[in-house]
Amino acid sequence: MSRQVFAYIIHKNGKPDDTALEFVTTARKLDPNAEVIGVVVGSGADLDAAAGEAAKSYTSVWKIDNAALAYPLADGVRKALVSVLPQNAVILIPHEHFGLDLAPGLAVKLDSPYLPDVVDFAGLNGDTLTAIRQEFSGMVSTHVACDIAAGAVITVRPGAFAPDESTAAAGTITDKSGDVGDVAVGRRYLETLVAEVGDVDITKSEILVSVGRGIEDQDNLEIVHDLAKAMGADVSCSRPIVDAKWLEKSRQVGTSGQTVSPKVYLACGISGSFQHMGGIKGAPFIVAINKNPKAPIFQVADVGIVADILEFLPELTEAIGEAK
């Protein structure tokens, strides 16, 4: 009997997240011979819609419908999964805020090894799985290995695997709701406070001039605004700029900020951490300007310029102004 690899599907308003498509690739890379099952948890019409979408990519989908889980509360979802999943399940969960809530405890309750924030697999030898992770804020990578015979809980970095866009799976949806018992937990969801949109909604911007720590001082932001104005772009930034309170949170691009999908993205003085890059979707034309030639951003950008943004940006602004 082939291994069962479960892919936890995050969905909102009836639509699965991008990670759902990525996990098709992920599962295939983990074990090409495994039976891959998508798991959707929720309630009502939204859940049914999500399950239907998921079935386009997964040949098998397990649906867990429970009114108490209409809002996905990790502790409750965990109880549901523990009742439904086989003891030796290998389950993939996205390494983001929900996954961080769910996965560690799930690994304990399933008594399985836990591989967090995996960015790639390096081989499956019998039951020994080797994966690749990063440590020290992404400065170094490591190979980690564990025995998955008795199952494993694996969180996967969103965007680390390419999404499988094919929708020919025509999968079967199995309703597992009956297997779930009481999901009452000591945690109760109250509400979600939506961040103030601010004056500009960068998620809709086509051109972004994004600024990071390389700007050095709040007073220097002027040169960024000037450049954005000359380009007809909006200004966005990385997390440190928001932490320092130099720009509002609504301008932050990243996994804990906004997700943007511009046509052109100018990363000025941004090192290129994966948390920041994780907020950029689509495939924009990325220009990176940074005075450190070893900055990770030069790995992911299309065009790179080693320069001090404090000098370069005003010159670029001037040149654009003259050309107009």
Partner 1 sequence: MEPVLISPAKASILGIPTVIFSVLIPIAGVALFAYIMAKRVAPLVFSNPDFRFDRIPERIKGVLKLWLAQWKQPRYMLAGVIHIMLFAGFIILSIRSSSLVIVGIHDGFVFPGLKGTLGHVYNFFKDYAATMVLIAALMAAYRRAIVKPKRYDVPKKYGKPHTGEALFVLAMISGLMITESLFEGTMAAAAVKKGFEAEFIAPLTLAWIFKVSMTVLPIGSLQATHVIAYYLHDIIFFSFLCFLPMGKHFHVITSLFNVYFMKLDKGTVKPVKWGVADDKLDELKSFGVKKFEDFTWKHMLDFYSCADCGRCSDHCPANAVGRPLSPRFISIKARDYAFSHYPLRGPLKASEPLIGGIFEEDEIWSCTTCGACEEECPLMIEYIDKMVDLRRGMVDDGNVPQSLQKPLSALEKRGNPWGKMEKKRAEWAFKDKAFQAACPVKLLENGGNAETLFFVDSISSYDDRIIQITQSAARLLNAAGVDFGVLGRLEKDAGHEARRFGEEMLFQSLKEENTEAILASGAQRIVTADPHAYNALKKDYKGLPPVYHISEFIAEAIRSGKIRLNGNGDTGKVYTYHDPCYLGRHNNLYDIPRDVLDAIPGIRRVEMEKSRDRSFCCGGGGLMLFYEPIEEQRMGQLRVEMAKTAGANIIVTACPFCMVNMEDAIKTSGLEGEMEAIDLVELIDRHRAV
Partner 2 sequence: MEILVCVKRVPDTSENEIQVNGKGTDIERDDLVYSVNEWDNYAVEEAIQIRDRVGGTVTVVTVGDDESEEVLRREMAMGADNGILLSDPAFENADGRGIATILKTAVEKGRYDLILTGAQADDGAGQVGGMLAAMLDVPYASLVNVIEVLDDKKIKVGREIAGGNQEMNEMTLPCVLSIQTGINEPRYVGIRGIRKVASVEIPTMGARDLGLDPAAVAPKVKRLDYFVPDMGEGAEMLTGSTEEIIEKLMELLKAKGGIKS
The residue behind tokens 């301008």 is 251
Q: Note whether 146 binds partner 1 by CB under 8 A.
A: no
Buried b (16+ CB within 10 A) or exposed e, 228-254: bebbebbbbbbbbbbeeebbbbbbbbb
* Closest approach of partner 2 to the CB of residue 168, in Å: 30
Q: Note whether 219 binds partner 1 by CB under 8 A.
A: yes
Handedness of CA 284, 285, 287, 293 (dihedral sign): positive
Q: Note whether 268 binds partner 1 by CB under 8 A.
A: no
Q: What are the distances in angstroms from CA 285 to CA 265, 298, 312?
A: 6, 13, 19
Q: Which amino acid is at 36?
A: V
d(C-alpha 136, C-alpha 18), whole Å: 26
Q: What are the distances in angstroms from CA 37 to CA 103, 156, 169, 243?
A: 17, 16, 12, 40
* Closest approach of partner 1 to the CB of residue 310, in Å: 5
Q: Note whether 306 binds partner 1 by CB under 8 A.
A: no
* Closest approach of partner 1 to the CB of residue 226, in Å: 10
* Closest approach of partner 1 to the CB of residue 311, in Å: 6
Q: Note whether 218 binds partner 1 by CB under 8 A.
A: yes
Question: In the complex with partner 1, which residue's Cβ is closer, 163 or 314?
Answer: 314
Lookup: tokens for 162:
């390419």
- DSSP assignment of 276-307: HHTTB-S--EEEEEES-TT-THHHH-SEEEES
Q: Which residues contact 172 (CB under 8 A, 6 or more apart)?
A: 55, 59, 60, 61
Burial of residue 283 (number of CB atoms within 10 Å: 0-12, 13-18, 19+): exposed
Q: Which does 314 bind (CB under 5 to 8 A by kind): partner 2, partner 1, none?
A: partner 1
* Closest approach of partner 1 to the CB of residue 293, in Å: 13
- Provide φ and ψ at 139, rounded to 5°: -75, -30
Q: Note whether 319 binds partner 1 by CB under 8 A.
A: no
Sole window of 49-57, 89-97, 185-193, 219-227 interacting with partner 1 (rule: CB under 8 A)? 219-227
* Closest approach of partner 2 to the CB of residue 39, in Å: 19
Q: Where are the alpha helices (DSSP H) in 56-113?
A: 74-84, 97-109
Question: In the complex with partner 1, which residue's Cβ is closer, 43 or 220?
Answer: 220
Sole window of 70-78, 180-188, 213-221, 278-286 interacting with partner 1 (rule: CB under 8 A)? 213-221
What residues from 227 to 246 belong to the interface with partner 1 (CB under 8 A)?
Answer: 244
Q: Which residues contact 45 (CB under 8 A, 6 or more apart)?
A: 14
Q: Which does 223 bind (CB under 5 to 8 A by kind): partner 2, partner 1, none?
A: partner 1
Q: Which does 167 bind (CB under 5 to 8 A by kind): partner 2, partner 1, none?
A: none
- E strand or H helix at 223: helix 221-231
Q: Which residues contact 29 (CB under 8 A, 6 or more apart)?
A: 120, 121, 161
Q: Which does 220 bind (CB under 5 to 8 A by kind): partner 2, partner 1, none?
A: partner 1
Among 21, 124, 160, 223, binds partner 1 (CB under 8 A): 223
Q: Note whether 292 binds partner 1 by CB under 8 A.
A: no
Sole window of 68-76, 113-121, 232-240, 308-316 interacting with partner 1 (rule: CB under 8 A)? 308-316
Q: Which does 324 bind (CB under 5 to 8 A by kind): partner 2, partner 1, none?
A: partner 2
Residues of this chain that bind partner 1 (CB under 8 A): 217-220, 222-223, 244, 310-311, 314
